[in-house]
Structure 1
Amino acid sequence: MFNVNIIWSNSIVIDGIRIRNPESYHGAGPNTDGINLLSVNRVHVMNVDVATGDDCLVLDAWGYRKDRDPTHDVLIENSYMSIGHSGVGIGSITAGGIRNVTIRNCVFDSVCRGVDIRSNNERGGVVEDILYQNLTMRNCTWEGISINLIKDYNDKGRQPIGDQTPFVRNIRYENIRGDAEREAIYFYGLPEAPIKNVVLENVDMRSKKPEPILLRNTKNIVINGNRY
């Protein structure tokens, strides 16, 4: 399963480690997250080289105890991620809330999604104040930049807002380059909880699809100066 798994911890430095696992598509490496950070704070990840069968690095936050257990104040930088399902994934365990995260100066090579945020209306929590900066994404086999809050694409109806409703807001992408087989930018929010206040500045993501940008249930999205 997970290679490096850090839970309910703070003031952690991960520097210079190398992780290798088989691709899950060949049947050998399912659920092998490289670095899994769950309900942590004040974490610095740098100079890592991860190729694995699931997410190269993922941030989660428990919310099932009496008190929420957020993940916050995390810096990920100067690293190389390849092969996995995402270079850096946030969620889908978001119930505790995830905030104040910076991912910068990294290369993502032949991952499914370069960077993604994911949750659904059974997970809850708030994901906010996330900065992605100076990233290169080569040969993403799915989307390049993704935020997805939909669990069941056949059920698009508005649901009551409650403890299990996830909210994603105040996300910023700066100086991103790369290419993707599917959408370059894929944002799919919930009708009752749209993805809000996302800025993409100096982003050049190429896609093989004729419509490289998909926005559903979003508000105040700015892409290279154009507001949607």
Structure 2
Amino acid sequence: MRSLYLLLFCTLFSFVAQAQLALNVLDFGAKNDSSALATTAIKEAIAKASQAGGGTIYFPPGTYLTGPIHLKSNITLFIEAGAELCFSDNFDHYLPMVPSRWEGTMVTNFSPFIYAYEAENIRITGRGTLNGNGKKWWAYSEVHVKNSPESKWQKEFHKLNKNVLHPDLPGWVERGFLRPPFIQPMYCKNVRIDGITIKNSPFWTVNPEFCDNVTIDGVTINNPPSPNTDGINPESCSNVHISNCHISVGDDCITIKSGKDRSGRKEARPAENYTITNCTMLSGHGGVVIGSEMSGDVKKIVISNCIFDGTDRGIRIKTARGRGGVVEDIQVSNIVMKNIKQQAIVLDMQYAKTDREPVSERTPRFSNIHLSNITAQGEQAGYLNGLEEMPIENVSFSNMVMETKTGFDIRASKGIVFSNVSVNPSSGPAIAATNVSGLQINGLRTAAGFSGSATLKFNNVKRAFIANCLIMEPIKTFLEASGNETEALLLKANDLRLVQNPLYISDAPENAVTLEK
């Protein structure tokens, strides 16, 4: 019993001691009327807490002008409701440059606004606001400076990245310089960001790199139309939990990455064990995106219970030749998509157009990707585009209702399954497939008239099974098959009573299709 009392006493003492280390930045000389730069005051508060083993840095209501904040282990930033940290747009304040990662390439660059390196047990919390004041950064990044004198920041970047710049960052050499991420912990453990509002990021907003056990909960991110201001980009991390967030940004809302090309393969650190749930995404290029920087692999990802309303795309997985890496074991379920401007679902292995090449470490791969319980309204239901030398493999769509202008377009893929899917495009086929093998369509429902097109349009499709499909409006043709490589297509137990011609075979072997009652 005595040992139990001692344990309780020690636990209580530890809690009280920790609670006493709540350091108010005003006590260190910070001004909450934005009249003076608070960078030094915040740094001193963090140093004092760190020397004591950790603590909470408290920002009471008001507006704070600051440069970069570097967190240490066991430090919490608590930003009270009514408090706003407004980050300086003086680029000199983010020097000296620090080890960073920029779009999947290891670099030395401007300090991120909130940065941590090899720290653990760090947290950013509260109901306050972080304002990145990004307009000046956006403008400078978009200026074409090829024929202009190098700025002092460019010169410093070039000096520190001589072995990186040209081979790994093509296209950016001739543009201003690399903007820093807003929040970037690197090689950290036990990272938590919750409750806060973030706006006007200079570049990617929340960008953990090589971290383990990351929780992002109840965060609101608002960036206006602006270049590359992604919302949450956990890259090469493990055990990531993103929930209850509201995101509207200038690029992708949530993106999962693991490094780019040579640099990503060298680090060889996958993004794995991620859960994304209960989030809403509004403006953005994509709702939840994987890639295109995925050279270190992306594995074991669950995305569920989210709403995308007004994004350009919903679920998007993208890569290109040269990336290498594997995307596999992805589960997406219980998603509502509205007002999608382009595709609801995209799996694209030719994000950058390149010529076919032999399979090597440069060749990416997509496999074991499963999507279910999705409703979508927008431009196109889905687009799958594999590589000739490495088709997309083992993808399933089940229990879906797609009300879109066009249906699914599937290319260079194998082992694709549709089960209990309703597709009602206003034009074109419900499913078009080119150079696809092992296609299974079971329980397709449609009430579309297809504007003269067939419900299914296949070109060079091998080994397909189409069963239990229901056509609910009169149409001319159910399946149009073409291509001299088309073979072994079996139609069975489909309700085609409203179809004028079940089959139309053009430029394909006559025995390629078998129609059974």
Tell me the TM-score normalized by structure 1. Answer: 0.92
3-state secondary structure, aligned to 1:37 = coil
Residue 152 of structure 1 and its aligned partner are, at CA, apart by: 4.8
Matching of residue 214 in structure 1 with residue 409 in structure 2: yes
Residue 207 of structure 1 and its aligned partner are, at CA, apart by: 1.4
Matching of residue 50 in structure 1 with residue 247 in structure 2: yes
Give the one of 393, 396, 402 matched to 1:199.
396
Aligned pairs (5 A) from 1:34-183: 34-62=231-259, 64=263, 66-153=266-353, 158-181=356-379, 183=380
Amino acid at match of 1:85: H
Matched residue count: 218
Runs of 4+ in 1 over 3 A off after TM superposition: 225-228
* CA–CA separation in structure 1 for the residues paired with 2:267 and 2:253: 28
CA deviation profile, 1:161-213 (whole Å, cap 9, x unmatched): 011100000000010001121x201100000010000011101122112xx11
* CA–CA separation in structure 1 for the residues paired with 2:258 and 2:309: 26
Fraction of identical pairs, as percent: 38
Which structure is richer in relative contact order (CA contacts within 8 A, separation 6 or more)? 1
Alignment RMSD (CA, Å): 1.4
CA change 1:188–1:10 in 2 (3 A) is same
3-state secondary structure, aligned to 1:95 = coil
* CA–CA separation in structure 1 for the residues paired with 2:364 and 2:415: 18
Gaps of 5+ in 1: 24-28
* CA–CA separation in structure 2 for the residues paired with 1:40 and 1:121: 23
Amino acid at match of 1:173: L
CA change 1:3–1:67 in 2 (3 A) is closer
Matching of residue 3 in structure 1 with residue 197 in structure 2: no
* CA–CA separation in structure 1 for the residues paired with 2:403 and 2:381: 6
Give the one of 12, 17, 23 matched to 2:214.
12
Bigger Rg, which one = 2
* CA–CA separation in structure 1 for the residues paired with 2:327 and 2:266: 20
Residue 19 of structure 1 and its aligned partner are, at CA, apart by: 0.4
Matching of residue 33 in structure 1 with residue 230 in structure 2: yes
* CA–CA separation in structure 1 for the residues paired with 2:255 and 2:352: 22
Contact 2:318 2:351 in 1 (8 A): no
3-state secondary structure, aligned to 2:235 = strand
Tell me the TM-score normalized by structure 2. Answer: 0.41
